[in-house]
Amino acid sequence: MIDILLATYNGEKYVGPQIDSLLQQSFTEWKLLIRDDGSTDGTRRICAEFATRRPERIRLLADGDHWGVLGNFNRLLRESAADYVMFCDQDDVWLPEKVEHTLAAMRELEMECGAHTPILVYSDSRVVDEDLGTIAPSSSRWTHRATHSSLGRICMELPLFGHQMMINRALTKLAGPIPEEFVSWDWWFPMVATVLGRIRFVDEPLVLWRRHATAASDTMKHRLSSYASRTLADYHRKVNISLRQSEIFHERFREKLNAEQTAFFAGVCRIREANWLMRRALIIRYRLFKTGFLKTAGVLLAA
């Protein structure tokens, strides 16, 4: 019924406790698919030991070439035929009710709009340090991420993180495979669901989201010092990456967009080729803003 996808790479320190937390879930109708991306430490050995002990529950894919995070998840998605998919980071800890409560919200939304609708459900997380000590009780508030993103905002910033998500089969089929040029796999699914499906937020921390020196995701908070340390060129590069993502999305789904969405993406796709003044006018027109005044100001200054 549910496939949990775990993409690993050099995560031997934390991957064992993470898999243990999955095995303690209150809802048990799930399978864990693991693909290791060519680790040079003991990660693959640890995963293989779990798969040997629990073959009815855990499957480790045989290939171990290095494809990167996006390629790793694309490979796992190709192996999944489940009704629902959840994504798993190697260094977190799932609380026992994560699968149960996320699935309940998914089923409720499917009852409202039908299982044929592409749906993404995501929960909050508790931010913790390496030893699972609490940094912040809510990742959504700690990172200032909007729980319900507008179309313009989701084009400009990642609204949630992969470890929080469950997607249904309709979204898996519609959104896959993730475009190789897209910057982030866990940005792609929320964007597709926002434009062509539905999203629901479970306002409950169901994951211990571990932050440590080697963590891959950006968790920079809205601090003045964090913005002052960046150059205008950094902002310009990030804005161009975000705009390019909208172009990639439009190329994939232009035939599925309604008239309003078509006009929106056609306008956004003009921005990178526009002059200095028109770029800013179009950003304001289509409300391509980020959460927080400083980030939005950075977009307008650097565009």
Average predicted confidence (pLDDT) for the chain: 91
pLDDT tens, residue by residue, 160-185: 999 999 999 999 999 999 999 998 88
**223 pLDDT higher than 50:** no
pLDDT at site 148: 64
Which residues pair with residue 30 across a beta bridge? 2
Rounded CA separation 284/270 (Å): 13
Query: In angstroms, how far is CA 29 from the centroid of its own chain?
Result: 23
Q: What is the mean pLDDT of residues 153-166?
A: 93
**20 pLDDT higher than 90:** yes
pLDDT at site 87: 97
Q: Phi, psi at residue 62, to the nearest 5°? A: -75, -35
* Strand intervals (E) in the chain: 2-8, 30-36, 58-60, 84-88, 93-94, 119-128, 134-136, 165-168, 198-210
> In sequence order, which residues have a C-beta less than 8 Å from that of residue 241 and are 6 or more positions away?
183
Q: How many CB atoms lie within 10 A of CB 96?
A: 14
Query: In angstroms, how far is CA 196 from the centroid of its own chain?
Result: 17
**Residue 221 confidence class, pLDDT cut points 50, 70, 90:** very low
Angle made by CA atoms 201, 72, 198, in degrees to the nearest 5: 25
The one-letter amino acid code at 173 reads K
**Residue 214 confidence class, pLDDT cut points 50, 70, 90:** low
Does CATH place domain 2-210 in 3.90.550.10? yes
**217 pLDDT higher than 80:** no
Cis ω for the linkage preceding 179 (within 30 of 0)? no
Rounded CA separation 38/185 (Å): 19
Rounded CA separation 108/99 (Å): 14
pLDDT tens, residue by residue, 90-128: 999 999 999 999 999 999 999 999 999 999 999 999 999
pLDDT at site 300: 86
User: SS3 for 275?
Assistant: coil
pLDDT at site 166: 98
> In sequence order, which residues have a C-beta less than 8 Å from that of residue 176 and are 6 or more positions away?
74, 77, 78
User: SS3 for 114?
Assistant: coil
Rounded CA separation 283/191 (Å): 18
pLDDT tens, residue by residue, 229-252: 467 778 788 899 999 999 999 999
User: SS3 for 279?
Assistant: helix
Q: Where are the domains of the chain?
A: 2-210, 224-302
pLDDT at site 146: 62
Higher pLDDT, 208 or 62: 208
Q: What is the pTM of this model?
A: 0.91
